[in-house]
Amino acid sequence: MTHKILVLPGDGIGPEIVAEAVKVLNVFTAEGNLSVALEYANIGGIAYDKEGQPYPDSTRALAQKADAILLGAVGGPQYDTLDRPLRPERGLLAIRADLGLFANLRPAILYEELASASTLKPEVVAGLDIMIVRELTGGIYFGQPRGIRVLENGERQGFNSATYTESEIERIARVGFETAMKRNKRLCSVDKANVLEVCELWREIVEKVGKEYPEVELSHMYVDNAAMQLVRAPKQFDVIVTSNLFGDVLSDAAAMLTGSIGMLPSASLNSSACGLYEPIHGSAPDIAGQGIANPLATILSVAMLLRYSLNRPELAERVEAAVEKVLASGVRTGDIYTEGCRKIGTVAMGDAVVAAL
Amino acid sequence: MTHKILVLPGDGIGPEIVAEAVKVLNVFTAEGNLSVALEYANIGGIAYDKEGQPYPDSTRALAQKADAILLGAVGGPQYDTLDRPLRPERGLLAIRADLGLFANLRPAILYEELASASTLKPEVVAGLDIMIVRELTGGIYFGQPRGIRVLENGERQGFNSATYTESEIERIARVGFETAMKRNKRLCSVDKANVLEVCELWREIVEKVGKEYPEVELSHMYVDNAAMQLVRAPKQFDVIVTSNLFGDVLSDAAAMLTGSIGMLPSASLNSSACGLYEPIHGSAPDIAGQGIANPLATILSVAMLLRYSLNRPELAERVEAAVEKVLASGVRTGDIYTEGCRKIGTVAMGDAVVAAL
Ligand SMILES: CC(C)[C@H](C(=O)O)[C@@H](O)C(=O)O
Ligand SMILES: CC(C)[C@H](C(=O)O)[C@@H](O)C(=O)O
């Protein structure tokens, strides 16, 4: 069976890091271990430049037929003055909605070799391994009504709606519990149920789904406390499940605890196992085209792609082991460089992973 | 002139820590340096127990006549099963709305003597001194419509509204700029304008107000990035101004960077200089009544009260200097204790500050 993979290099360092990740897939196909058909399309700023839209119809058509999507990054300062609907990040929001990618899995893992990059004390973060399950197609990101209106007194008022239905909460809660079942069986649901009605319903439904997972130890935490606890004692968490907006904030905080966001992948899944895989770092326009970007987060995104969309956990593990081996060998891109290591560029890092495979 | 101060001890450790803070006020009155009339009332769980409401009319009547309010903390596990409108935190939300306390000032200061309590590396947080200006009576906390409704398909949907008018944004922005003018003249406004229309308006109005403060260096940051930057390099911030919900999350994260939230006060101000002052830590029911709680955050809240509501900056500075002196002398409550220091209780700590004054 040949898997259709859509590759969306995007902006900034996107094309460079995606090229290295594709090399990893090529290793498996060359081995005869995997059959993939790669197609390429535009998203973000480059899509606007070439096709006038951040998520063009041509890309949409390919995305809807793909088994999995590998994305680099979107955005750049040259697009900041565009009308909002045309900006690169709107392409990202559009593809999430279009494909129903409601479950965003964002691991925050501290690699032992890179522990010193964290701004936190070693004992606080050593061995950190959290999985954040963020709802990605609902909540205030997509809620209606929204806009800027003029009130009777002539003043303008901006307004957005945070909404969740029972079924939206139920399906993301289920992903949270299933993820916890495969890990250490502890799930923390983060909300603000002491203030927001939408979170009252969230908590009620998470509790209800929890009844089906008696083995999972479920806890609830308010979002302000969760932000505190991530700083105070992050290792208390195994899996966190939360809404779109809270997940946006907490997953970035959690990622930064590791000190090396150039290492962190993500997966955005829908109900039919199609997924979009991307590094969590941005397009880094300041270093684009210089051949110095770290491709490891994108390579680890390929590992997630193999695991979640292609159902090839053994290949995913090989990728992850190869990355660990490369780190252990002491080579580093600039963003994760420390004294005593050998600094190499994007292509050399990709080659090192290929060699380790 | 006699200042009317309403004291709301609240729940848990509230009464113990407030008693020590009142001693500090008594020092100044005994000196003949200050004239205050203290009144006491109930808020939170104790108010529900005694008067059936978390913010009873009797308390409201006194609050509306007060020049300043000193609050301990609210909440406790025995109230978790109450109907939401009766829970302790609703008392807090009610008094904020009732008195129009729209500007919440939350400093995150790292005391040199307590630097080792931080989970962050010393070089990352040494000298940390951030002021977070959080909007406190608008946004999604109070936005209408809100609730849980039944959709046509029979499913329930929770919904809340995040709203801000131009004038609401303008007045909190002004507090942000004024605060920056008194400090290092750098203001970072945090929003999510790439996704939310309410934040588009926020950014536009903050920019507009900024024109009146050419000396202040204004920057904008998305909330996810702000959460990251607080972990990565918190000393880049001087003053942060943000919405109610983002401020709730970011101020708790910022506070935890110091490692000693038992030290952090807060002020909630309205447009006529009346303010509510409270420590940011909670009611700590687990240690209530044991005489071991740290009263310093409440004592430092009195310093803010003297500065912002009573316009007595020289007395505020004396309180702050006394707290520093006490820390330098090596006495500590349990929460900030480290080896080599002398552990003391709540009353002894209050006495130490009084002696240092
Ligand atoms: C670019 C932005 C719209 C996006 C989001 O807020 O979801 C990003 O921050 C992310 O987390 O993927
Ligand atoms: C108790 C709760 C309602 C409150 C809030 O969310 O504002 C608290 O977290 C705070 O920050 O004062």
Q: pLDDT (tens digit, 9 = 90+) per residue, A297-339? A: 999 999 999 999 999 999 999 999 999 999 999 999 999 999 9
Residue B73 pLDDT exceeds 90: yes
Inter-chain CB proximity B165 and A156 less than 8 Å: yes
Q: Please work out whether the CB of residue B356 comes within 6 Å of at least one atom of ligand 2.
A: no
Mean of pLDDT over chain B: 97
B128-167 tens-digit pLDDT: 999 999 999 999 999 999 999 999 999 999 999 999 999 9
Nearest to B250 by CA among A228, A199, A237: A228
SS3 label, residue A249 = helix
Q: What does residue B290 show for φ and ψ, rounded to 5 degrees?
A: -95, -5
Q: Quick one: A1-114+263-357 is in which CATH superfamily? A: Isopropylmalate Dehydrogenase (3.40.718.10)
* Catalytic residue check, A351: no
Distances (CA, A) of B87 to A5, B11, B71, B77: 52, 12, 17, 10
Residue-wise pLDDT tens digits, B112-124: 999 999 999 999 9
Query: CB–CB of B231 and A84 under 8 A?
Result: no
- As beta bridge partners, residue A109 has A129
- Ligand 1 atom closest to B192 (CA): 6
**pLDDT value of position B273:** 84
Question: Which residue among B93, B202, B232 sits closest to A256, beta carbon to beta carbon?
Answer: B232
* DSSP state for residue A154 in the 8-state scheme: S
From the list A124, A162, A248, the residue facing B159 with the nearest CB is A162
Determine the pLDDT at residue A1: 85
Short-list A277, A257, A255, A274, CA closest to A266 = A277
Tokens of A247: 């997940």
Residue B1, pLDDT score:
85
Q: Do B200 and A148 touch (CB under 8 A)?
A: yes
- Could you confirm whether A224 is annotated as catalytic? yes
Decide yes or no: CATH 2.60.40.10 for domain A129-257: no
A245 touches chain B (CB under 8 A): yes
Best of A93, A242, A243, A281 for a ligand 1 pocket test (most atoms within 8 Å of beta carbon): A93
Cα torsion angle, B73, A198, A159, B145, sign: negative
Distance CA B27, CA B312 (A): 14
What is the rounded (10 degree) CA torsion for A53, A57, A59, A63?
130
Which class would CATH give B129-254? alpha beta
Nearest Cα residue to B20 out of B256, B319, B308, B266? B319
Of the residues A11, A67, A238, A248, which is catalytic?
A248
User: A206: closest CA among A233, A177, A230?
Assistant: A177
Residue B125: per-residue pLDDT? 97
pTM score, two decimals?
0.97
- Token duo for residue A29: 């196909």
User: Which of residues 185 through 214 in chain B touch A, CB cutoff 8 A?
Assistant: 192, 194-202
Report pLDDT for A31: 96
The interface residues of chain B toward chain A in range 162-181, judged by CB-CB distance below 8 A, are 162-167
Residue B116 contacts A, CB cutoff 8 Å = no
- Distance in angstroms (rounded) separating the CA atoms of residues B229 and B237: 9
Which residue is it, tokens 């522990």? A115
Ligand 2 atom, smallest distance to A224 CA: 9
Name the pLDDT band for B111 (thresholds 50, 70, 90): very high
Q: Give the pair of three-digit tokens for residue B61.
A: 């009547």
Q: For position B300, what pLDDT does the model report?
A: 98
Q: Which tokens sit at A258?
A: 């590791």
Strand duo B186-191 + B156-165: pairing: unpaired
Interface contact B223-A256, CB threshold 8 A: no
Chain B residue closest in CA terms to A75: B194
Give B7's contacts (C-beta < 8 A, 6+ positions apart): B18, B22, B38, B39, B40, B41, B69, B70
Q: Which of A120, A162, A250 sits opposite B162 (nearest CB)?
A: A162
For the question of residue A191 being annotated catalytic, the response is no
| CATH 3.40.718.10-classified regions of chain A | 1-114+263-357, 129-257
Does A121 touch chain B if contact means CB atoms closer than 8 Å? yes
Residue B88 φ/ψ, nearest 5 degrees: -50, -45
Considering only CA atoms, give the Rg of chain B.
20
Note the pLDDT of residue B85: 93
Question: A135-158 burial string, b = 16+ CB within 10 Å, else e?
Answer: bbbbbbbbbeebeeeeeeeeebbb
- A45 Cβ neighbours under 8 A, 6+ residues apart: A10, A11, A54, A74, A75, A76, A78, A79, A88
CATH superfamily ID and name for B1-110+258-357: Isopropylmalate Dehydrogenase (3.40.718.10)
pLDDT at residue number B323: 98
What integer pLDDT is reported at residue A333 of this predicted model? 97
CA–CA separation, A239 vs A236, rounded Å?
10
Pinpoint the residues of chain B covered by CATH 3.40.718.10: 1-110+258-357, 129-254
CB B38 within 8 A of CB B22: yes
Whether A253 and B231 lie within 8 Å, measured CB to CB: yes
- Rounded Cα gap, residues A16 and A72, in angstroms: 8
**Interatomic CA distance for residues A88 and A11, integer angstroms:** 9
Residues of chain A with pLDDT below 50 are: none
Ligand 1 pocket check for B195: Cβ under 6 Å: yes
DSSP class per residue in B285-324: GGGTTTT----HHHHHHHHHHHHHTS--HHHHHHHHHHHH
- The residues of B annotated with a catalytic role in the active site are 141, 192, 224, 248, 252
Q: Whose CA is nearest to atom 10 of ligand 1?
A: A248
Residues 6+ apart with CB under 8 A from B142: B93, B97, B244
For A198, the token pair is 């939408």
